[in-house]
Structure 1
Amino acid sequence: MSVSEFLLLQFIAHLCLDYFFQTDKLAKQKNAIGFKSPFLYWHALTCFILSWLFSLQLSFVLGAAIIAITHFLMDGFKHHLNNSKLFGRYAYFIDQAGHLVIMVIVVLLFKKWYGIEPSIEVSLNLTYLLIITAYLVCLKPANIFIKEVFKATEIQVSSDNEMPNAGKVIGVLERILTLTFIIVSQYSAVGFLIAAKSILRYRPDETLKTEYVLIGTMLSFGIAVIAGIIINLS
């Protein structure tokens, strides 16, 4: 098993833990009251079990424990981050980045000190793992990510039919997607993108709805495109 495959397995464990093994109601409770949430303790235990299970090796018990404990601490203190005037709207991204950084550090240190030697002989393929990861990301995680982008950029319905910062977000997404298509020589996709924008061209009385849909569509499409490119380059 390579370190890339090991990291992907740990990332799949994280996706299952934070997106599929907890309901929105329980996640909101955990984020609102932190260490007072009974679910947080079950969440941490599940984190340990999944991390250890997806490592495919008994010797990773300490690494799984470190990932679970740090996950527990970050989630426990997250409600303070949510209430921060400066960083509150970015709490989701900070929290997820923190979990991923810890995961990478633990895996790399484990590889250096113990080596990656699975206790169970399983034939793994990096491309297949990437495909599984990509499909998982495109389900619930992508929905939550898009919602948090709207929250972070303060895109919301207003009484005068305006969406602050919507134009900036659309412009950035257009450039990122267009550049991505060009890099992979998918020029026809650039034409599709332009055509899609033309179809969604709005009348003055439809600005709010059209921009909202366009941002969400481009974010969603972008996630799938980037994931597909990573797979093709593997």
Structure 2
Amino acid sequence: MTFIHLLITQFIAHTLADYYFQNDRLANQKNQLGFRSSFLKYHFIIVTALSFLLSFQTSFWWVALLIGSTHYIIDGTKPYINRSRILGKYAFFIDQNLHLLIILVLTWIYASGKPSMPWVPIIWPMELSMVILCGMLILKPANILIKEIFKFYEISVPGTGDLPNAGKLIGLVERILVFTFIVIGEFQAVGFLIAAKSILRFKNEDASKSEYVLIGTLLSFGIAIFLGLITMTLIRS
């Protein structure tokens, strides 16, 4: 397993642990209570276990333990960042960038040595792992990222009579479609999808709602296009 492939699998482990193996209630509990959160210790175990398992190498145990331990410390101190007048609005971005930077550095240090042979033969290509990672990122993590960007710029949701969570579902579907179209090289279909959504969603006379929808749409499409281009480039390289 190459360094890049190992790094991708570690990013998959992080995405699973931070976004799919905890719900909003548990995440909010950690953000508010930090080290006093009853879930934090279980989160540490989940992070460490997933990191170790998705390395597919027995000698990776110490790296997984370090990743889990630093994750525990960062999440435990996050409430202090949240309450900071200066850093509070950057809390989500500081948290995630620290996690990813630590994973990158520790994985590089490990790969620079002499990794052991995987306990499971890695028969799938690195490109498949990248598709899996990006496919995971365009779902729940993308929703959370968009919400945090709105919070950062203090963009409030305008009053609306739309169905609850309808916008979130539309965003999920559109990102899946855009990502798929980009990966298979059907760029015309992406343009058609953008045009179709513009016709369907921007007939409202409420300027604030139109701007809110426009920002959300641009962020949603931008994330899907960015991840799609990265995946397509890796597949075709």
Q: Runs of at least 4 residues of structure 1 off by over 3 A?
A: 184-203
Q: Partner of 1:224 in structure 2? A: 224
Q: Partner of 1:154 in structure 2? A: 154
Deviations 1:94-126 (A, max 9, x none): 100000000000000001123363222121312
Deviations 1:156-204 (A, max 9, x none): 2589xxxxxxxxxxxxxxxxxxxxx9xx99578568656755765566x
Q: Distance in 2 between matches of 1:53 and 1:97?
A: 22
Q: Partner of 1:167 in structure 2? A: none
Q: Partner of 2:25 in structure 1? A: 25
Q: Distance in 2 between matches of 1:113 and 1:122?
A: 19
Identity %: 39
Counterpart code for 1:230: I
> Is the Cα–Cα contact under 8 Å of residues 13 and 51 in structure 2 kept in the other structure?
yes
> Is the Cα–Cα contact under 8 Å of residues 9 and 54 in structure 2 kept in the other structure?
yes
Counterpart code for 2:111: K
- Structure 1 residue 139 corresponds to structure 2 residue 171: no
Moved more, 111-120 or 121-130: 111-120
Cα distance, 1:11 vs structure 2: 0.5
> Is the Cα–Cα contact under 8 Å of residues 30 and 37 in structure 1 kept in the other structure?
yes
Q: Distance in 2 between matches of 1:35 and 1:25?
A: 16
SS in 2 for 1:41: helix
| 1:2-41 alignment, distance < 5 Å | 2-41=2-41
> Is the Cα–Cα contact under 8 Å of residues 31 and 78 in structure 2 kept in the other structure?
yes
| 1:93-108 alignment, distance < 5 Å | 93-108=93-108
> Is the Cα–Cα contact under 8 Å of residues 34 and 76 in structure 1 kept in the other structure?
yes
Evaluate the alpha carbon distance shift between residue 86 and residue 158 of structure 1 in structure 2; reply closer, same or farther with a 3 A threshold. Answer: farther
Q: Partner of 1:68 in structure 2? A: 68
Aligned length, in residue pairs: 210
Evaluate the alpha carbon distance shift between residue 146 and residue 157 of structure 1 in structure 2; reply closer, same or farther with a 3 A threshold. Answer: closer
Q: Distance in 2 between matches of 1:66 and 1:114?
A: 18
> Is the Cα–Cα contact under 8 Å of residues 58 and 116 in structure 2 kept in the other structure?
no
Q: Distance in 1 between matches of 2:23 and 2:146?
A: 18
Counterpart code for 1:123: I
Q: Distance in 2 between matches of 1:57 and 1:157?
A: 46
Q: Distance in 2 between matches of 1:13 and 1:188?
A: 32
SS in 2 for 1:119: coil
SS in 1 for 2:211: helix
Q: Partner of 1:175 in structure 2? A: none
Q: Partner of 1:213 in structure 2? A: 213
Evaluate the alpha carbon distance shift between residue 62 and residue 185 of structure 1 in structure 2; reply closer, same or farther with a 3 A threshold. Answer: same
Counterpart code for 2:213: V
Q: Partner of 2:44 in structure 1? A: 44
Counterpart code for 1:207: A
Point out where structure 1 has 5 or more consecutive residues left out of the alignment: 160-180
Q: Partner of 2:120 in structure 1? A: 120
Q: Partner of 2:170 in structure 1? A: none
CA RMSD of aligned residues (A): 2.3
Point out where structure 2 has 5 or more consecutive residues left out of the alignment: 160-181
Evaluate the alpha carbon distance shift between residue 185 and residue 13 of structure 1 in structure 2; reply closer, same or farther with a 3 A threshold. Answer: closer
Cα distance, 1:78 vs structure 2: 0.3
The TM-score with structure 1 as length reference comes to 0.82
The TM-score with structure 2 as length reference comes to 0.81
Q: Distance in 1 between matches of 2:136 and 2:158?
A: 34
